[in-house]
Amino acid sequence: MSLEPQELSELKSKIGREPTSTELQIVAAEWSEHCSYKSSKRHLKMLPMKGPLVITEKGYDSGVLDVGDGYVVTAHIESHNHPSAVEPYGGAATGVGGVIRDILSAGTRPIAIFDGLRFGDIEKDQQARWLFKNAVTGIADYGNCLGIPTIGGEVEFDECYENYALVDVAAVGFGKKDKLIKNHAKKGDIVVLMGGSTGRDGIGGSQFASDSLESEDRSAVQIPDPFIEKLIIEAILEARNENVIHAMKDLGGGGLSCAISETADALEIGIEMDVSKVHTRESDMHPDEIMVSESQERMLIVTSKTKFKKLQEICKKFRIRCSIIGKVKSDNQMHIKKGKKTFAHLPTDVVANATLLDLPSKKPSYLKTIEKEKKLKTISDYSKTMMKLLASPNIASKIWVYGQYDHEVGIRTVVKPGRDASVLRLDHGKFLSVKIDGNPKQCYINPREGAIGCFEEACRNVVCTGAKPIGMLDHLQFGSPKDPEIFWTFLESLKGLTDFAKDFKIPCVGGKVSLYNETPVGPIKPTPLIGVIGLIDKQPQIPQKIIDGDYLIIVGDTKDELGGSEYFEYIHKLIGGKCPTVNFSESKKNMKSVLEIIPKQLLKSVHDCSKGGLAVAVSELSLNNQIGCKVSLDKVPGKKLAVDRVLFSESHSRYLLIFDKKNLSKVEKILKKNKTSYNIIGKFGGDKIQFVNGKKSVIDLRVDKAQKTWLNSLRDLVLHG
């Protein structure tokens, strides 16, 4: 947990002397992979970050999108993988806390939380079950207490996360454009530390997160306190309304070291601070510890001496501490003192800008053969296969998870969790739809196409609510970048995402890279996670009750693409086969058609086809509406395929449209006009889920039985093993 030898000599040559111990700690924290992005930064520039709705300001920790009428939406994504793997409750909870403060830093109120959770095989692995259960409780206890609804996310289990956890948290904020904090500072301004006290928890957290997880260093995990965070949110928003904040930054990875150096560097100022002014939890903390502690619920604020009085008054009302710890200077130096004694004195640009690496990459050898298919065992009863899939942890309903999250608080949740994407109402009559998606199984088989698939799937989900994608968040999670083969998968994923973002004109408004995700059995599968933010101008597509006689249309072709599918991996235990690929022009055409039909209010429900393929997507509609259906597999558009392929292929760009028969001609008219590939494949009714091929029955399940399995299996697995 310190600088590499060449980094140390680089630091010495830059400052022309031996660094002090405090300086070493500060630089080690800021030059860690976690804070500096040294392996990834030069490549991340390829992503398009600009767009007509994107607002950029100096030193923002979250992306800002203009949603019209003087309002903005902010968004950010973070992960807390290393901490959650050793202490899932605290790790997951503080993950929520960190991303919420990033939203707050821009001066916007956090209005929604999303979480993506990944663990080992919970059917076999008790440790994975423990990690899952406690991470969920950690998120629930933190988010619920803050009164910010957790309205979406995903949960996935895969052996590659054995003894490990990926806990990703995204958050969205909302506010007035003219109330955004426009970070600025001038000589003579003061630097204030507000919020919780600084303790010995989370010391070295960012270095801990920048290394393979070999030791279970629990002291590097921060301790959550959502009550203090709630008070900070209200105090900051009150201070924002009183215009007493010049600049603001959340204390996250690297603690004060990063907050001070990055603020000074972004605003081109110097900061002189005195560690003895920091309110600490313990009396005997060394300056080194104070500078790198990652204690939670702290904010750094730059204000003027005159405005400080008002800030102090607000803090007093909420009984939260705020201490003047330093002052703004014009020398571009970071000067850390204790009383009169200097402990560190460094140029901020040296601290805040680690030398970027240009790591070698090499195509992994496993990729040469992975897309070749192996022979599958024959299945005689697909009804049994279907029941097995509906009970499988990746496909079973996640109600046990989102039922523990307050997803109604804030009274914005128009479309509730458990559907494709949740929808929030905004104050000016528009609606926001957000979804996060990952697919490590497909990304392992084809890092480029897999990543694009995650992006398209997230887009599809928001499109199903009637929203147009306006921004994207990416979270790139990989193993050690020092392994050229892993680094190659990182670059491929990034290139894929860039191509899609540019072609679809969806700017990247925020992101995060998490490397060194290594478990005792090796690196995780490439796990890029994509969040898509969609905006609805008028009426969202709210799921209506499907009734007897309603029609089912599928939009998009079903292709022989089962690599990384639940069918191959869960049923056949096969890792390999052809990864689904997104055809950009087809994808755009289908999106356009769906977004054209929805505002006409012709549809009862729109559902995306993804994990588990058409069979699972149709079943979910039946189970959510407690009604049977009959689907003809021979009518599904695309080249003729074997029935199992049609049922379980995970081809992208497919949507299910459900509507009253009377609207058929109007729906078809739009699909035809846009030359969209589609077909009427079935009808709802009865109490059975039926798939037929010609006259032959392929699947025949009772809805009530299937529903019980689908709703309860995840809970039963967690509680009873």
- Rounded CA separation 533/469 (Å): 6
Binder to other proteins among 403, 484, 520, 549 (CB under 8 A)? 403
Cα–Cα distance list, 300 to 27, 252, 641 (Å): 19, 10, 60
Shortest reach from residue 103's CB to other proteins, in Å: 16
Longest dimension (CA), the chain: 88
Q: Of 171-179, 411-419, 477-485, 564-572, which segment contacts other proteins by CB under 8 A?
A: 411-419
Among 205, 226, 479, 523, binds other proteins (CB under 8 A): 226
Give the Cα separation of 444 and 512 in Å (integer).
20
Which one of the spans 29-37, 266-274, 396-404, 638-646 is the region binding other proteins (CB under 8 A)? 396-404
Q: Is 46 in the site for other proteins (CB under 8 A)?
A: no
CA 459 to chain centre: 14
Choose one: 168-176, 294-302, 413-421, 593-601; the region binding other proteins (CB under 8 A).
413-421
Instruction: Give the Å distances, CA to CA, from 459 to 116, 518, 533, 615.
Output: 16, 29, 8, 21
Helix or strand (DSSP H, E) at 112: strand 109-119
Answer for which of 277, 338, 425, 708 binds other proteins (CB under 8 A) is 425
713 binds other proteins (CB under 8 A): no
CA dihedral 609, 612, 618, 620 (to 10 degrees): -100
The span from the CA of 661 to the CA of 551, in Å, is: 6
416 in contact with other proteins (CB under 8 A): yes
HSE, side-chain direction, 13 A CA sphere, residue 486? 22
Among 216, 408, 687, 704, binds other proteins (CB under 8 A): 408
Query: Residue 469: helix, strand or coil by DSSP?
Result: strand
CB of 415 to other proteins, least distance (A): 9
CB 483 within 8 A of CB 523: yes
Decide if 184 is catalytic.
Answer: no
Environment class of 567 (CB within 10 Å of its CB; exposed 0-12, middle 13-18, buried 19+): buried
- Least distance in angstroms from the C-beta of 408 to other proteins: 5
Name the catalytic one among 43, 76, 80, 335: 80
Q: Which is nearer to other proteins, 59 or 152 (CB)?
A: 152
Stretch 230-269 residues interacting with other proteins (CB under 8 A): 230-231
For residues 199 and 256, give the distance between their C-alpha atoms in angstroms, rounded to a whole number: 12
- Our CB check for other proteins shows the closer of 5 and 411 to be 411
User: In the complex, what is the shortest distance from the CB of residue 315 to other proteins, in angstroms, rounded to a whole number?
Assistant: 12
Is 607 among the catalytic positions? no
- Which residues, other chains included, contact 672 with Cβ-Cβ below 8 Å and sequence gap of 6+? none
Q: Please state the closest distance from residue 539 (CB atom) to other proteins, in A.
A: 10
End-to-end Cα separation, the chain, in angstroms = 38
CA–CA gap between residue 226 and residue 148 (Å, rounded): 11
> What's the min distance (Å) between Cβ of 227 and other proteins?
3
Number of amino acids touching other proteins (CB under 8 A): 31
Type of residue found at 560: D
> Which CB, 364 or 599, lies closer to other proteins?
599
Comparison of 88 and 226: residue with beta carbon closer to other proteins: 226
Selected from 161, 402, 444, 487, the binder of other proteins by CB under 8 A is 402
Name the residue nearer to other proteins (CB basis): 256 or 621: 621
Using the rule CB under 8 A, which residue among 162, 168, 406, 650 binds other proteins? 406
User: 């698939």: which residue's tokens?
Assistant: 453
Instruction: Decide: is 551 part of the binding site for other proteins (CB under 8 A).
Output: no
**Please, what is the minimum distance in Å from the beta carbon of residue 512 to other proteins?**
27
Determine the distance from the C-alpha atom of residue 448 to the mean position of all C-alpha atoms in its chain, rounded to a whole number. Answer: 19
The residue among 149 and 580 lying less far from other proteins, judged by its C-beta, is 149
- Binding part of the chain for other proteins, among 32-40, 384-392, 412-420, 446-454 by CB under 8 A, reads 412-420
Nearer to other proteins, 67 or 591 (CB): 67
Of the pair 310, 329, the CB lying nearest other proteins is at: 310
Closer residue to other proteins, CB minimum distance, 224 or 326: 224
DSSP annotation string for 498-537: HHHHHHHT--EEEEEEE---EETTEEPPPEEEEEEEEEES
State which of positions 289-348 bind other proteins (CB under 8 A).
317-319
Task: Figure out which of the listed residues 174, 343, 382, 405 binds other proteins, where binding follows CB under 8 A.
Answer: 405
Q: Which of 83, 111, 214, 288 is nearest to 480 (CA)?
A: 214
Query: DSSP of 637-706, one letter per residue?
Result: SSS---HHHHHH---SS-EEEEE-GGGHHHHHHHHHHTT--EEEEEEE-SSEEEEEETTEEEEEEEHHHH
Query: 501 Cβ partners below 8 Å, 6+ apart?
Result: 47, 48, 455, 472, 507, 508
DSSP 8-state class, residue 445: H
Q: According to CB under 8 A, which one of 404, 601, 679, 712 is a site residue for other proteins?
A: 404
CA–chain centroid gap for 134, Å, is: 19
The verdict on 411 binding other proteins (CB under 8 A) reads yes
Residue with smaller CB distance to other proteins, 151 or 266: 151
Binding to other proteins by residue 639, rule CB under 8 A?
no
Residues 138-157 that bind other proteins (CB under 8 A): 140-141, 144-147
Q: Which residues are catalytic?
A: 34, 80
Binding site for other proteins (CB under 8 A): 137, 140-141, 144-147, 225-227, 230-231, 317-319, 402-414, 416, 425, 542
